[in-house]
Amino acid sequence: MATNRAWQGSSHFRLEQLAQGVYAAIHVAGGAAICNAGIVDLGDRTLVYDTFMSPQAAADLRAAAEALTGRPVRYVVNSHWHSDHTWGNQVFGPGTEIIASTETRRIFAATRGEEDYDGLLATAEAKLESMRARLQAATEPGQRDELALWVDNYKAVVLAKPILKVRVPNLTFGERLAFHGAERDAELIAFSGGHTASDVVLLLPREGIAFLSDLLFVECHPYLGDGDPDGLLSILQTITALGLRTVVPGHGPVGSAESVALLGRYVLTLDRLAREAVERGEAEAALAAAPIPAPFNAWGIASFWAANLRFLYQHRLA
């Protein structure tokens, strides 16, 4: 679908209209958004879901939301505590409520959205130059794509660093929070132990649309190391039961119900390989060196496959 012509565009993300008044903001290569976000017009209030990694990208997101809905942003939702979804909070004014689950706010307040906040900021320039050098030397297309994404990531940190003022959510909820707007209803659902200790989904029941953040990656490997694989599988089953038509992942293009099912297959495949390796007494290093099976070998961020295997191996070894 076409987007509103009043919006002039951004170098950090592209807008994809999912329904009247509902937009996915998808990170573009070379930009400093890093994750995906969402804009929802409730009819009388405007809601933004996730705020990207850099305040600069978030400023464009705010401008887009205001241009598309004709009003200031009333609510921002932080899906979870990771920096690529929260460091843009600061660009939204004092009239904007920043909403998160109670657990997400607790973690975010302690970490400022990054487990090694000071270390990341101190080493960002060096890591950016290292990734640029590796990208220049790389020849394999998949590896180049992944390294380009890491260049974007560290470039976003460097861009944010001089102006970053971490804004912690100021409104929290437990398990569910409903919005009853003039044009549509929306609901936030907090899930425990999926991608992180707490992950919030934005559900638009009438439209069959959900913003799932990092509970879903599409066409790229997810990161499982901060969550629980069993919990994630249970959450994916719950999401499948909602009968959704359109799902917006934290990373990758807009997907469908099949995207949720495919991620479930991914986790089950990894878990089977990890369990079998533990049962055989196989060394962790040998397991991680095995080739990636189809169809997952065509996905981006391929280095996460080995990291996820090691994580599940240790999880099943315990």
Question: Residue 6: what pLDDT?
Answer: 64
The answer to whether the pTM exceeds 0.75 is yes
**From CA 90, how far away is CA 111, in angstroms rounded?**
16
Give the tokens for residue 297.
């070998």
Long-range contacts of 16-24 (CB under 8 A, 24+ apart): 16/254, 18/207, 18/209, 18/246, 18/248, 18/254, 19/204, 19/207, 19/209, 21/68, 21/69, 21/183, 21/184, 22/204, 22/207, 22/209, 23/64, 23/68, 24/211, 24/248, 24/254
Question: Residue 288: what pLDDT?
Answer: 73
Instruction: Report the residue count for the chain.
Output: 318
- Residue whose tokens read 């890591």: 127
| Amino acid (one-letter) located at 310 | R
- Residue whose tokens read 């992950």: 199
In the three-class reduction of DSSP (H, G, I as helix; E, B as strand; rest coil), residue 216 is classed as strand
Q: Closest Cα to residue 250, out of 269, 222, 226, 270?
A: 222
CB 85 within 8 A of CB 108: no
Quote the Cα angle for 194-86-142, to 5°. 70
**From CA 229, how far away is CA 235, in angstroms rounded?**
10
CB 45 within 8 A of CB 67: no
CB 257 within 8 A of CB 240: yes
**What would the DSSP string read from start to end of 24-81?**
EEEE-TT-S--S-EEEEE-SSSEEEE---SSHHHHHHHHHHHHHHHSS---EEE--SS
Cis peptide bond upstream of 229, omega within 30: no
Helices (H), the chain: 55-69, 102-111, 117-137, 141-160, 229-240, 257-280, 284-288, 303-317
Q: Going residue by residue through the chain (318 aa), what tens digit of pLDDT does each one get?
A: 333 446 789 999 999 999 999 999 999 999 999 999 999 999 999 999 999 999 999 999 999 999 999 999 999 999 999 999 999 999 999 999 999 999 999 999 999 999 999 999 999 999 999 999 999 999 999 999 999 999 999 999 999 999 999 999 999 999 999 999 999 999 999 999 999 999 999 999 999 999 999 999 999 999 999 999 999 999 999 999 999 999 999 999 999 999 999 999 999 999 999 999 999 888 888 887 788 999 999 999 999 999 999 999 998 887
**From CA 225, how far away is CA 282, in angstroms rounded?**
21
| Amino acid (one-letter) located at 235 | I
